[in-house]
C-alpha cells in the first residue's frame, strides 16, 4: 500500500492521529469546521461547511434524499440498470478471445453518473455524448474540490475548476435549476401535486428556500453533492479489486467467494478503513478544550485530524491493523468496521448509506449500496487486472488514488453466474 505523507498545508498545524482523540473531537460541540479553506469558492455555505443550528436545519431539509425509499430507488432503479448496461456495452466490444480491456477508473465514474444526477437534480445526462461531457465536468470539479491535496499549483487548479463550472452551468445546471424552480412554483400555485415533484437536491432547496441565501447557493450545494455522490466509491473500489487480487493469491481457498455478498462487504469495509477519500479533516477549537486523554487544545487552535494512522491503530483494530484482512473481528470499542472514514458526530457523512447500503433487517439487505452493487457486477464479468499494464497512481495528489487502472472483462460462463439479487 502507498504510504501516506502529510501534505504541506497541514504541516504547521497540530496533527492528531489517535483514533480516540479524533472521535472525541468529531463528536464535540466545541469544535467547528476548518476544512476546505482553499476550495471555499466551490462550497461556501454548503452543508459541508456549516456548523451549529444552520447545519442541523440544512441536514434535516436534505435528509429525504437519503431515506429508505430514496435509497431503494437509487440502488435498484438509478444504479443497477446503468451498471448492467455499461458492462454489457463493454463486453459487446470483446475481441476473439472474449475479453475486452477497459480503464476501471473511467468505467466506475461513468456508472455513478446517474446517481449523481438523480440525487442532485441534473437533467440531460441521456446520451453517450452528454454522459461523457457530464463525466468530464465531474472529474474537473472533483479536482478543484480537493485542491488542498493537489501537488499542482493550487491557484491554477481552482481557477480551472471555477472556469469549467461556468461551462457546466451553461450546459447542464442552468436548465435543470430553472425546471425545478418552475415545478415548485406550479406546486405552490396548485397546478401540480407534491407527488409530481422530483426528490432531488435542487427541488428541496426551492421548497425550503431561505431569503438569506444568495442566488449561487444551489450551485455550490449541487457541486458538493455531485462530487460526494461519486468520490468515495470511485476512490475506494479500485483498492478493493487490488486487495482481493492479492488476498486470493495468498488465500486460494477464498477464491470462490467472488459472488459472496457478505464476504465482499467485509472486503469493502476493510478497503474503506485503509483508504479514505478525505485522509484528513480540519477543525477549529471554539474554546479551550481538554480531551479525555489530557491533551489541551487552545481556543482558536486549528487541528488536523489524521484518519490514515487512526484507522490503522492497533489498540482499536488489532495487531495487523495496517494490513487488509476481510475477516477482521469487530472492534471491541464499538468502532465502525470502516473506522473514521465517514467522519463522526454532527458532520458524519449524510450519504454513507448510499455507499454501504442500508443495514440488514430480518436477515435481508434492503439495498446493497454503490460499492457492493458495482463490485458484484465486475466479478460477474470476470474482472481481472492486466499484469502487463499495472495501475497508475495519481502523481499530482497526496491521495492514494489512481489515474488509471487497466482491467480485462470477459463473458461469464453459465456455471459461474451469481444468484440474482432481488430488486
The residue ranking higher by pLDDT, 4 or 264, is 264
Please give the CATH architecture assigned to the domain spanning 8-416: Orthogonal Bundle (1.10)
pLDDT tens for 112-161 read 988 899 999 999 998 889 988 999 999 899 889 888 888 889 999 999 99
Torsion of CA 335, 336, 338, 343, to 10 degrees: -90
Domain ranges of the chain: 8-416
Residues 6 or more apart whose CB falls under 8 angstroms from that of 26 comprise 281, 283, 305, 340, 343, 344, 345, 347, 348
Residues 6 or more apart whose CB falls under 8 angstroms from that of 81 comprise none
Q: Is the pLDDT of residue 420 over 50?
A: no
pTM for the structure as a whole: 0.90
Q: Is the pLDDT of residue 349 over 80?
A: yes
- Mean pLDDT, the chain, integer: 91
The residue ranking higher by pLDDT, 280 or 365, is 280
The residue ranking higher by pLDDT, 285 or 397, is 285
Distance between CA atoms of 297 and 208, rounded to whole angstroms?
38
Structure confidence at residue 406 (pLDDT):
97
Q: Is the pLDDT of residue 416 over 60?
A: no
Distance between CA atoms of 220 and 236, rounded to whole angstroms?
25
pLDDT tens for 354-379 read 999 887 766 677 888 999 999 999 99
- Percent of the chain having pLDDT more than 70? 94
Structure confidence at residue 362 (pLDDT):
65
Amino acid at each position: 500500500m502507498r504510504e501516506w505523507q502529510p501534505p504541506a498545508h497541514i504541516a504547521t498545524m497540530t496533527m492528531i492521529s489517535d483514533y480516540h482523540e479524533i472521535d472525541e473531537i468529531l463528536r464535540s460541540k466545541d469544535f467547528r469546521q476548518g476544512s476546505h479553506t482553499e476550495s471555499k469558492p466551490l462550497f461556501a455555505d454548503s452543508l459541508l461547511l456549516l456548523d451549529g443550528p444552520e447545519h442541523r436545519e440544512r441536514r434535516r431539509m436534505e435528509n429525504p434524499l437519503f431515506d429508505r425509499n430514496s435509497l431503494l430507488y437509487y440502488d435498484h432503479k438509478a444504479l443497477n440498470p446503468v451498471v448492467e448496461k455499461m458492462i454489457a456495452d463493454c463486453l459487446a466490444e470483446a475481441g476473439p478471445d472474449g475479453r475486452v480491456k477497459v480503464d476501471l477508473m473511467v468505467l466506475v465514474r461513468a456508472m455513478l453518473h446517474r446517481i449523481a444526477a438523480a440525487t442532485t437534480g441534473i437533467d440531460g445526462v441521456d446520451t453517450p455524448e452528454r454522459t461523457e461531457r457530464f463525466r468530464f465536468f465531474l472529474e474537473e470539479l472533483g479536482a478543484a474540490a480537493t485542491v488542498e491535496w493537489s501537488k499542482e499549483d493550487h491557484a491554477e487548479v481552482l481557477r480551472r475548476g471555477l472556469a469549467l463550472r461556468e461551462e457546466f452551468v451553461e450546459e447542464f445546471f442552468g436548465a435543470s435549476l430553472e425546471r425545478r424552480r418552475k415545478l415548485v412554483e406550479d406546486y405552490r400555485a396548485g397546478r401540480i401535486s407534491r407527488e409530481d415533484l422530483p426528490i432531488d437536491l435542487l427541488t428541496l432547496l426551492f421548497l425550503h428556500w431561505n431569503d438569506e441565501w444568495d442566488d449561487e447557493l444551489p450551485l455550490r450545494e449541487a457541486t458538493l453533492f455531485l462530487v460526494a455522490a461519486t468520490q468515495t466509491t470511485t476512490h475506494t473500489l479500485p483498492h478493493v479489486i487490488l486487495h482481493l487480487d492479492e488476498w486470493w493469491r495468498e488465500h486460494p481457498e477464498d477464491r470462490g467467494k467472488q459472488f459472496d455478498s457478505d464476504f465482499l462487504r467485509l472486503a469493502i469495509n476493510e478497503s474503506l478503513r485503509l483508504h479514505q477519500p478525505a485522509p484528513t479533516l480540519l477543525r477549529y477549537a471554539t474554546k479551550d478544550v481538554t480531551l479525555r486523554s489530557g491533551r489541551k487544545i487552545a481556543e482558536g487552535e486549528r487541528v488536523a485530524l489524521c484518519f490514515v494512522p487512526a484507522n490503522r491503530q492497533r489498540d482499536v483494530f488489532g495487531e495487523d491493523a495496517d494490513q487488509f484482512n476481510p475477516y477482521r473481528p469487530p472492534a471491541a470499542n464499538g468502532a465502525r468496521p470502516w473506522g473514521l472514514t465517514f467522519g463522526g458526530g454532527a458532520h458524519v457523512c449524510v450519504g454513507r448509506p448510499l455507499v454501504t447500503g442500508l443495514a440488514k433487517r430480518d436477515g435481508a439487505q434492503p439495498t446493497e449500496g454503490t460499492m457492493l452493487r458495482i463490485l458484484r457486477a465486475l466479478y460477474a464479468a470476470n474482472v481481472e487486472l492486466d499484469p502487463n499494464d499495472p495501475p497508475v497512481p495519481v502523481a499530482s495528489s497526496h491521495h492514494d488514488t489512481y489515474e488509471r487502472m487497466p482491467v480485462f472483462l470477459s463473458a461469464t460462463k453459465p456455471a459461474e453466474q451469481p444468484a440474482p439479487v432481488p430488486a
